[in-house]
Amino acid sequence: MGAGNGPEAHNPIFQDPGEEKPGWNHWLLIAAAVVGDVPVGRTANDQPSAALVIDGKLIADEIRFRIAEQIRRMKDSVGKVPGLAVILVGDRRDSLTYVRNKVIACEDAGIKSLVTQFPQNCKQDDVIRALSTFNEDPSIHGILVQLPLPQHLNEEKILNALKLEKDVDGFHPLNMGNLAMRGREPLFIPCTPKGCIELLIRSSVEIMGKNAVVIGRSNIVGLPTSLLLQRHHATVTILHALTKNPEQITREADIVVTASGVPNLVRGNWLKPGAVVIDVGTFPVEDPSCENGYRLIGDVCYEEASKVASAITPVPGGVGPMTIAMLLSNTLDSAKRAYDFT
């Protein structure tokens, strides 16, 4: 839905909304007991790496270039371009940043984008009315609701008001249900999980028959990522806040995808030598040497993990760029269906 579809930055949605606080305190206790004192100011860019660095920005740029080419062909052939509508409630700084970057990405690719912003105290009916307008607009092929929404709004009702054919975030219950069922295909695959799998495939990582661990079970990342890995015939284990001995389970994994919401949770001694690590987590830490005063780190202690893993995504520059690329891809696919364009 928009919550993980921007550039990499801290986002609390990676913390499982179904968990009680004691569960997440359990994660934090693990982080304190197992992780210890971590030099959180250090990031992928500072450390020598024995592992292959999976360059999400480079891969995303290649995908976006091909998307732009297809959109130019579509415009020349049918005189139309894809359209994406974004609904934003409130003025959270992170949400504003996400939306701004999506708009820029759309412009670069040739996708028409529209942003409707509501005040923090808006009425639910107003949001649903805007959704209904976009649902019926033939020039709009994708609709994205930027999460999180204010607590007084019913997120489920708002998201269910999305037209299935325009749910480019892939979180409509029917899309998620089809993703979970063998023999069925969702119209759209959620952007961040789709980006994670695309990184593995384009890095020539074998998934079939491998043991995969997904850390975190949110509807946004963990659950759909585990379903996608199963579709690629991996044997998947999901870890969550109440999982006992997570480090021991993770050490059995050939592939680790982590979206726990805990910075530097995964240490080098959590990993099997040669494992492939996809780090979805992002957290700002103060750093006066950076122009904006902070830098980003992930769920994984990169300094240690890069010495054990065979391949690893950096933070930033790993999963984040792929999320936006997959949003553009889903929007293009929707327009192709609408215009019967191949």
Residue of 192, 262, 341 lying closest to 30 (CA atoms) = 262
**DSSP structure class, residue 37:** S
**102 an active-site residue?**
yes
Neighbours of 65 (CB within 10 A): 12
Q: Which of 15, 70, 102, 299 is catalytic?
A: 102
CA dist., res. 37 & res. 39, Å (int): 7
Locate tokens 């726990």: which residue? Answer: 260
Q: Which residues of 304-316 are buried (b: 16+ CB within 10 A; e: fewer)?
A: bbbbbbbbbbbbb
Catalytic residue among 16, 70, 146, 166: 146
Residues 319 and 66 sit within 8 Å (Cβ to Cβ): no
320 token code pair: 């984040």
Of the candidates 15, 70, 167, 169, the residue annotated as catalytic is: 169
Q: What are phi and psi of 276, to 5 degrees?
A: -105, 130
Q: Return the bridge partners of 238, or none.
A: 214
Indicate the pairing of strand 211-215 with strand 255-258: parallel
| Residue 169 known to be catalytic | yes
Tally of residues, the chain: 342
Task: Look up residue 196 and give its two tokens.
Answer: 């994670």
Looking at the annotation, which residues are catalytic?
102, 146, 169
